[in-house]
Chain A
Amino acid sequence: MSVNGPSVPRPQPAPAPAAGTSAVEAAAGKKEHGGAASSQLRRAVVVGGNRIPFARTGGAYTKSSNQDMLTAALDGLIARFGLQDERIGEVAAGAVLKHSRDFNLTREAVLGSALSAETPAYDLQQACATGLETVLGLANKIKLGQIDSAIAGGVDSASDAPIAVSEGLREVLLDLNRAKTVSRKLQVLSRLRPKDLAPDAPNTGEPRTGLSMGEHQALTTAQWKITREAQDELAFNSHRHLAAAYDAGFFDDLLTPYRGLSRDSNLRADTSLEKLATLKPVFGKNLGAAATMTAGNSTPLTDGASTVLLASEEWADAHDLPKLATIVDGEAAAVDFVHGKDGLLMAPAFAVPRLLARHNLTLADFDFFEVHEAFAGTVLSTLAAWEDEEFGRTRLGLDGAFGSIDRTKLNVNGSSLAAGHPFAATGGRIVASLAKMLHAQGQVNGRPARGLVSICAAGGQGVVAILEAL
């Protein structure tokens, strides 16, 4: 997996229009000498976002379905930007834990919202990367001119999770449905055993390893020798930064209260390093002294939904809407965690170097890093890998280490450890917040402020993206 020698040819990035061309796009355009076709690509901009506060599972949203929450997040977005009865080009969202009846979750949410009923929608699922992938997919459609406006989103409820019947019961029920005669029906029913009646609850375990995500990360955390103190500090900073952002009114135009919550219920503004240090490890307990992952430095199961309004510049202008940032580019990666080659959540460690190489950028060229905190150990393992010469040479095909980031630019308004992580909703949370930060920052050293999003996902996957200020 070499950065400089991708095995599959990649589509060329879109050179921006001459006016306001960013450094990234100009450099990329020059390097790739974009042809006639790509010169027709236009920019996809983030207009804004809306999410509902994230709630710890079993809390405020226990009785809310995915559809309820996604509809609420959509309605808040519609209210913020005056999109009532508007026909949006397309809405894409998804959920990781999804009932089979929700096969058209996003379209149903659109129909229940204040949008025009003529707004098309589709569902998408890529584990925890779902939200970011909806942003990238819709941004591409906007860049291609297929649509002018879009809403990307995601929702998840671990409270209202689907519970399946056992395989035994399911087979009996299906056969029963096919049975024509009473005697045949009785015959089918006679196959039923008491153990078949136990429900099959969902879990976050990896089907191919049987290990939970936390146990997987515990192995990676130990492999990269991430200390308990470093993880607790990251968690502490996440809470501190998120609380400060709320106090400063940062979320006033990013969030709409829901069911009595106006802040994320996982946020502990009063937490301290001392309190975090008292928590007992919950993952990797068989590792002995290397067990460092606690409930404090791991993200809890959470319920919530988020949305992001994307548009072409023309559409945003025609609707007198703000333009916060552009979606420059994205990249997905996957690792072979099944055979232990890489840690389950390490795919972003490969996706980011590939994406940055495509744009002639280094980590030093970014002003904000939004690295999803599935676990404090995930973020720190990824940063450690980038700073590791051996990893850089052998796994990334570089001359040495990929690089290190300025930690003061990391998750400056808090991230998942404090806010919580309703799987598919995290991408929308990050993109909307980052776009707002970038817009506020404006220009840096004569170029637009630049932000990197990195999200790890189950199945050994990861999706990353670059945004630039407008």
Chain B
Amino acid sequence: MSDKYTRFVSHGLGKDIAKRLGLPQPVALRRHEPGRPLIEGPVLVQGSTSGADDLAATLLAWNLDVRRHAIPKEKLGAIILVLDELAHPGDLEKPVLTAAASLRDLAPNARVITVSRTADSATEPAAAAARQGVDGLLRSLAKELRAGATGNGVLLADGARTTSPATLGALRFFLSGRSAFVDGQFLTVSSGAGQLPDDVEKPLAGKVAVVTGAARGIGAAIARTLYRDGATLILVDIPAAGDHLAEVANEVHGTALQLDISRNDAGQRIIDHAATRHGRLDILIHNAGITRDKLLANMDAGRWNSVIAVNIAAQLRINEALLASEHFGDAPRIVSVASTSGIAGNRGQTNYAASKAGVIGMVRATAALIGERGGSINAVAPGFIETEMTARIPFATREVARRLNSLQQGGQPGDVAEAIAFLASDAAGGISGEVLRVCGQNLVGA
């Protein structure tokens, strides 16, 4: 989907006009392309703890150009602010203000990433205050960054270290172009589980994945991204969308399974197909969803029930079937598509928001269940994404919606797919029960 405004203000006269009038100046975001480096330019690891030292050593081993001290005027690809030993809010000053001196040296599409500890695992009020302080700091800083640069944070729960697999996995994700439209967000690493891939270009090699709602839009983008990352795919969509589904399946060398996920036997049919064709299933992506918008005062049972049935009841039933199956992998992964509507609410979407908030509740509650078999479950909540669906929003409403975030543009279906592919990978094994927003730090709901 084209964003003519972003192209207009990207160079020449348009750029000049936008600057003079103080109009939004979105830039073309850096997105992941196979073979490209993780990040361009040096990475400044700010912080003096042993956790920071360990992390810097690991990044060096990735052949990144690591700095422990900024060189004035040198353009930086990223700043990693390690704040893993905060005991009091006063501890923030030194590392934060030191990093602040380098902010003007950030290259376009740079990254600022905090690594700190979860506040609710602190026993001392002062430590909790300091840790929670990082939340406000990072979210505000993300809003100050310009030119496609983003700010995100990794939160370490008890039992997670700065060099735990999932910490490193999350860092890689945030540093890379895979997180282009993720801004102002935190991911909590809750354990030392997970494993970094042997081949960083094929993190899903050998995995069998199911994607629901894969015939078009975000679902098709998820299929393409998972295929690029090495997964073997089973694509599901309603029978009426079978022609588009077949096209995507043939493109990604997968199989098309025409199935209404709201059928009672949908989970079993998915398992049967995966078991017959591949002997097992490793990854399930719940992407299928519908909208039937209406103000609640005008809501009818048909609209309400169909949205609940497809968007959340089907996911619950399919999860139950999969978790009961011996064929659902050794380290099974489930990633659900939620929505920022389910977090902040949206006028006319009481049914949709209820279903998507339901997805968030389901993900949090299922984390323990799937954790028992060494797996993980997470959700991704997209904000304004440029799809056929959002292209139908009236022009003015659409323009406002897509500018109302820190990156001043809509995301691409591939941006949602990248977040899902990461959470479906073993590198994210220590992350579970989380909801990651892919919204460019939307002013609503963030």
Do B255 and A322 have beta carbons less than 8 Å apart?
no
* Inter-chain contacts of A402 with B (CB < 8 A): none
User: Would you call A84 an interface residue if the criterion is a C-beta within 8 Å of the partner chain's C-beta atoms?
Assistant: yes
CA distance A146 to B249 in the complex (A): 30
Q: With A75-B247, A82-B277, A322-B276 as given contacts, are A249 and B260 in contact (CB-CB < 8 Å)?
A: yes
| Closest residue of A by beta carbon distance from B259 | A252
What's the minimum C-beta distance from B250 to chain A, rounded to whole angstroms? 4
Quick one: which of B239, B241, B249, B255 contacts A249, CB cutoff 8 A?
Answer: B239
Q: A251-B239, A252-B239, A321-B276 are in contact. List 11 more A-B contacts (CB 8 A).
A: A72-B243, A76-B243, A76-B246, A79-B250, A79-B256, A80-B255, A249-B263, A252-B258, A255-B239, A262-B242, A322-B276
Quick one: which of A76, A259, A321 contacts B242, CB cutoff 8 A?
Answer: A76
* Inter-chain contacts of B276 with A (CB < 8 A): 320-322
Do A114 and B250 have beta carbons less than 8 Å apart?
yes
Do B250 and A75 have beta carbons less than 8 Å apart?
yes
Do A84 and B239 have beta carbons less than 8 Å apart?
no
User: Would you call B14 an interface residue if the criterion is a C-beta within 8 Å of the partner chain's C-beta atoms?
Assistant: no
What's the minimum C-beta distance from A251 to chain B, rounded to whole angstroms? 7
User: Would you call B414 an interface residue if the criterion is a C-beta within 8 Å of the partner chain's C-beta atoms?
Assistant: no
Do B277 and A79 have beta carbons less than 8 Å apart?
no
CA distance A72 to B278 in the complex (A): 26
What's the minimum C-beta distance from B325 to chain A, rounded to whole angstroms? 17
Do B249 and A79 have beta carbons less than 8 Å apart?
yes
* Inter-chain contacts of B258 with A (CB < 8 A): 252-253, 256
User: Would you call A350 an interface residue if the criterion is a C-beta within 8 Å of the partner chain's C-beta atoms?
Assistant: no
CA distance A256 to B245 in the complex (A): 9
Which of B247, B254, B263 is the most central at the interface, judged by chain A CB atoms within 10 Å of its CB? B247
CA distance A249 to B260 in the complex (A): 9
What 0/1 readout, one digit per residue, does chain B (230-268) give for beta carbons within 8 Å of chain A? 000000000111110111011001111111100100000
Q: With A320-B278, A320-B279 as given contacts, are A255 and B242 in contact (CB-CB < 8 Å)?
A: yes
What's the minimum C-beta distance from A316 to chain B, rounded to whole angstroms? 11
Do A320 and B247 have beta carbons less than 8 Å apart?
no
Q: How many residues of B contact A (CB 8 A)?
A: 23
Do B242 and A320 have beta carbons less than 8 Å apart?
no
7 contacts across the A-B interface (CB closer than 8 A): A75-B246, A75-B247, A76-B256, A82-B249, A82-B253, A114-B250, A262-B242
| Closest residue of B by beta carbon distance from A262 | B240
| Closest residue of A by beta carbon distance from B275 | A320
Do A320 and B239 have beta carbons less than 8 Å apart?
no
CA distance A85 to B278 in the complex (A): 18
> What class of interface size applies to chain A in its complex with B?
20 to 34
CA distance A257 to B249 in the complex (A): 14
User: Would you call A258 an interface residue if the criterion is a C-beta within 8 Å of the partner chain's C-beta atoms?
Assistant: yes
| Closest residue of A by beta carbon distance from B263 | A249
CA distance A258 to B245 in the complex (A): 11
* Inter-chain contacts of B249 with A (CB < 8 A): 79, 82
What 0/1 readout, one digit per residue, does chain B (256-295) give for beta carbons within 8 Å of chain A? 1111100100000000000011110000000000000000
* Inter-chain contacts of B257 with A (CB < 8 A): 253
CA distance A84 to B246 in the complex (A): 11
CA distance A256 to B238 in the complex (A): 11
Do A79 and B260 have beta carbons less than 8 Å apart?
no
CA distance A28 to B383 in the complex (A): 67
* Inter-chain contacts of B256 with A (CB < 8 A): 76, 79-80, 256
Do B239 and A79 have beta carbons less than 8 Å apart?
no
What 0/1 readout, one digit per residue, does chain A (69-84) give for beta carbons within 8 Å of chain B? 0001001101111101
What's the minimum C-beta distance from B309 to chain A, rounded to whole angstroms? 16
Give residues in B with beta carbon < 8 Å to A: 239-243, 245-247, 249-250, 253-260, 263, 276-279
Do B246 and A79 have beta carbons less than 8 Å apart?
yes
* Inter-chain contacts of A79 with B (CB < 8 A): 245-247, 249-250, 254-256
What's the minimum C-beta distance from B253 to chain A, rounded to whole angstroms? 5
Closest 6 CB pairs of A and B: A79-B246, A79-B249, A79-B256, A114-B250, A82-B255, A262-B240
What's the minimum C-beta distance from B277 to chain A, rounded to whole angstroms? 5
Quick one: which of B240, B253, B277 contacts A84, CB cutoff 8 A?
Answer: B253
What's the minimum C-beta distance from B156 to chain A, rounded to whole angstroms? 41
Do A257 and B250 have beta carbons less than 8 Å apart?
no
* Inter-chain contacts of B243 with A (CB < 8 A): 72, 76, 256-259
Which of A114, A256, A322 is the most central at the interface, judged by chain B CB atoms within 10 Å of its CB? A256
Q: With A79-B255, A320-B277, A320-B279 as given contacts, are A256 and B250 in contact (CB-CB < 8 Å)?
A: no
* Inter-chain contacts of B242 with A (CB < 8 A): 76, 255-257, 262
Quick one: which of B250, B260, B279 contacts A78, CB cutoff 8 A?
Answer: B250
* Inter-chain contacts of B239 with A (CB < 8 A): 249, 251-252, 255, 257, 262
What's the minimum C-beta distance from B330 to chain A, rounded to whole angstroms? 20
What 0/1 readout, one digit per residue, does chain A (281-325) give for beta carbons within 8 Å of chain B? 000000000000000000000000000000000000000111000
What's the minimum C-beta distance from A254 to chain B, rounded to whole angstroms? 9
CA distance A258 to B258 in the complex (A): 14
CA distance A256 to B246 in the complex (A): 8
What's the minimum C-beta distance from A301 to chain B, rounded to whole angstroms? 23
CA distance A75 to B242 in the complex (A): 11
* Inter-chain contacts of A85 with B (CB < 8 A): 253
* Inter-chain contacts of B253 with A (CB < 8 A): 82, 84-85
CA distance A256 to B255 in the complex (A): 13
* Inter-chain contacts of A320 with B (CB < 8 A): 276-279
* Inter-chain contacts of A258 with B (CB < 8 A): 243
CA distance A130 to B278 in the complex (A): 35
| Closest residue of B by beta carbon distance from A50 | B246
* Inter-chain contacts of A259 with B (CB < 8 A): 243
* Inter-chain contacts of A78 with B (CB < 8 A): 246, 250
CA distance A78 to B263 in the complex (A): 25
What's the minimum C-beta distance from B255 to chain A, rounded to whole angstroms? 4
What's the minimum C-beta distance from A247 to chain B, rounded to whole angstroms? 11
* Inter-chain contacts of A255 with B (CB < 8 A): 239, 242
* Inter-chain contacts of A252 with B (CB < 8 A): 239, 258-260
Quick one: which of B241, B254, B259 contacts A257, CB cutoff 8 A?
Answer: B241
What's the minimum C-beta distance from B371 to chain A, rounded to whole angstroms? 30
What's the minimum C-beta distance from B238 to chain A, rounded to whole angstroms? 9
What's the minimum C-beta distance from A234 to chain B, rounded to whole angstroms? 27
Which of B241, B243, B249, B278 is the most central at the interface, judged by chain A CB atoms within 10 Å of its CB? B243
* Inter-chain contacts of A75 with B (CB < 8 A): 246-247, 250
What's the minimum C-beta distance from A305 to chain B, rounded to whole angstroms? 13
| Closest residue of B by beta carbon distance from A260 | B243
Which of A80, A82, A320 is the most central at the interface, judged by chain B CB atoms within 10 Å of its CB? A82
CA distance A72 to B239 in the complex (A): 15
CA distance A208 to B386 in the complex (A): 62
| Closest residue of A by beta carbon distance from B244 | A257
What's the minimum C-beta distance from B275 to chain A, rounded to whole angstroms? 9
What 0/1 readout, one digit per residue, does chain A (82-126) give for beta carbons within 8 Å of chain B? 101100000000000000000000000000001000000000000
What's the minimum C-beta distance from A175 to chain B, rounded to whole angstroms? 47
What's the minimum C-beta distance from A73 to chain B, rounded to whole angstroms? 10
CA distance A88 to B124 in the complex (A): 68
* Inter-chain contacts of A257 with B (CB < 8 A): 239-243
CA distance A253 to B260 in the complex (A): 12
CA distance A72 to B245 in the complex (A): 12
* Inter-chain contacts of B254 with A (CB < 8 A): 79, 82
CA distance A252 to B241 in the complex (A): 11
What's the minimum C-beta distance from A398 to chain B, rounded to whole angstroms? 45
* Inter-chain contacts of A81 with B (CB < 8 A): 255
What's the minimum C-beta distance from A333 to chain B, rounded to whole angstroms? 37
| Closest residue of B by beta carbon distance from A81 | B255
What 0/1 readout, one digit per residue, does chain A (319-342) give for beta carbons within 8 Å of chain B? 011100000000000000000000
* Inter-chain contacts of B259 with A (CB < 8 A): 252
